[in-house]
Chain A
Amino acid sequence: MIYCFSTIFVKLGFIEELMKIDKDVSLYDLAEFTKVLKKIKDHEIIYVEFSKIPEENQKILKSLGKRPSKSWAVLDPFGVQNDPAELFHLGAFDYLGPQFKKQPVQISRLKKALLWAGWVKSSKVQTEKYEDFKLTKLTVNKEYRMFFLLIDLYNPDNLRKELGEKGVAQFRSVFHDFLKQMCVENGGVLWIQQEFSFLLVFPPSSVENAVFLGLKLITSRSLFSIEKFDLKFILDIRASFHFGTAPWQEPGKTGNVVSDSINSLFHLGLKRAAANTLTFTENCLDSLPHRIKNLTQQIGEFEGRKIYQMPIFDS
């Protein structure tokens, strides 16, 4: 869903252009901003128009600043924002200034920014069927519905303290290879690595294997830490799962992958998930093995999705 709070841009055909990209657009008057904002989920997109009154614009910015990064954009028909770059620092994903009063905004221009923000067409998320596939036969740039598992090493400071920067780099490489092997054995692919976070993807038919891998990693982490990695402390690991979509790219060439699923899973896995347990978004729930599902409990919402968690495992 895209929410648009505008009075000027709406008259310039902005909404029509936006609806060519996503039919699920709701238009509101600026006066309703504070009230409606409370209902907008974290993963939904907001376009808000600045008025000529700076104090009002500041209030709007203060509210938007609390939202997830790249979930909002500013329409500025009067050019009141002296430094548009400042908006991006606050978390905006786009800025449409007074020049668009003269020439209508192009659909490609809007789409580019939305994709950069990790936006996913609302209808696509809800209606696409679970098409199974083999990870060895994927088409580059084609969007697939996949089961994601984000493995995050929770205590990198311990690693740095014990191993030093050089040792940490070596350990990361060893851990990467270890995860890659586990992934292969369970029908998945280690897709993206960022610092101490590893994104694994599985086809829909391998959900059980993915959960098995995550659970094995968490429950056996003390043995892995000592026996396999020869560490002097026990790794704390977070495992977060999400069923979502992403355009396929070969591992190692994922720099330009834009996906709301991946963004929100990284947010969940790094900001909300607890260490030493498994965390699931509501999208996963129906696909989970019965015995796992029985052990999960809802712990709240995150970026508009209900979040479920298993008990925390001691080392």
Chain B
Amino acid sequence: MRIPGSLVNNTIRILYENLHTDIMIKLAKMVDEDFDFYRVSGFRESIPINPQDCAHVIVKEVIRQNKFLNLVEMMIMINHKGLMGRQYPIRNLIEIIKGLSALGFIYDKENQLFFEDAQINASKNWGRLLDDHDYYLALLRLDIVHNTKIVRAHPKTQVEQAYALFYEMVERKIHHRWGRIWSWEGDGGMAAFFYGHRQTYAVYSALDIIQSLFVFNIFKNPLSEPIQIRLAVHAGSQRYSEDQVKWKKSDTASYVLELESKFCAPNELVISEAVNSSLEKTLSSLFKPKPKFPGFVAYKLGVEEI
């Protein structure tokens, strides 16, 4: 992530204008617990630290570590809550937030984290997740039922058009809740949720997709038969990697794939116990136990005969 010079300079200035050197160093340690000012700066410990130099060293180092957003998040936190019982109001902090906003980052108050604005940029890691690091994520698995049959029964261009329209709908509903599509193979894919209440947002997206499917099939689907889908949502510790083969090996990803393929009927959304137990009561009440699979709950968009 490239930080413009003006934003770097502003951050340095705002830091030394508002915080003493010892607080600045504590702040840097909150971002990186191994942070050692003297090692990074090369200054001797016997020489008093100039506030400007201190701010400069810290900002440059967090940028080098790709942790600039973490630093600003910590500044926002101590501005609101203080540090070790003392208040540290940071004047002009809004200038940094505006600078990040211009780069396409939005602040998520619930998790106190910045994330990418999907309308500007929608990278798989939200511009934040680091390769080979574990995060607590919610995953949504989607599969188009009888894909092979559909492909064989319809002209290629028609299938491509139908799937493109379907993907567009799915992507819109996922981005709307701050999720990201991690993989898409034509007949389905996987999406991840990290911001907001991630389990709830994954379930909202899945419900939105399945509830819109009926309308999609009537008004948008160019195929002569309705598209059917299977959906599953699970949450847990998940390794992030640019490499699809790597992240798919995680337990969370494996489990959500298993949920979808083994326990989910067409036009059904199955959620794991880990997800269900985190949902608010009204949302959870939409999911009913699956008689054939004790312990699993599912939502199905049903129609009653007149």
Contacts and interface: CB of A to CB of B under 8 A. Distances in A.
Contacts of B212: 216, 219-220
B224 to A, nearest CB: 10
Contacts of A309: 306
A85 B274 CA distance: 67
Contacts of A313: 214, 301-304
User: SS class of chain B's interface: helix, strand, loop or mixed?
Assistant: helix
B306 A219 contact: no
Nearest to B299: A222
A128 interface: no
Interface in B258-306: 280-283, 286, 300-306
A196 interface: no
Contacts of B301: 219, 313-314
A233 B304 CA distance: 20
Interface stretch (B1-9, B20-28, B115-123, B203-211): B203-211
Interface string A231-262: 11110000000000000000000000000000
A212 B286 contact: no
Contacts of A208: 219
A311 B303 contact: yes
B218 interface: yes
A226 to B, nearest CB: 5
Contacts of A233: 282
Interface in B22-59: none
A231 B215 contact: no
Contact of B219 (A225, A289, A314, A315): A289
B211 A312 contact: no
Contact of B304 (A212, A215, A314): A314
A227 B207 CA distance: 11
A314 B280 CA distance: 20
Interface of B: 204, 207-208, 211-212, 214-215, 217-219, 280-283, 286, 300-306
23 contacts: A212-B215, A215-B218, A216-B215, A219-B215, A220-B208, A220-B211, A220-B212, A223-B204, A223-B207, A226-B282, A232-B281, A234-B286, A289-B218, A289-B219, A297-B306, A299-B306, A311-B303, A311-B305, A313-B304, A314-B300, A314-B301, A314-B303, A315-B286
Interface of A: 208, 212, 215-216, 219-220, 222-223, 225-227, 231-234, 289, 291-292, 297, 299, 309, 311-315
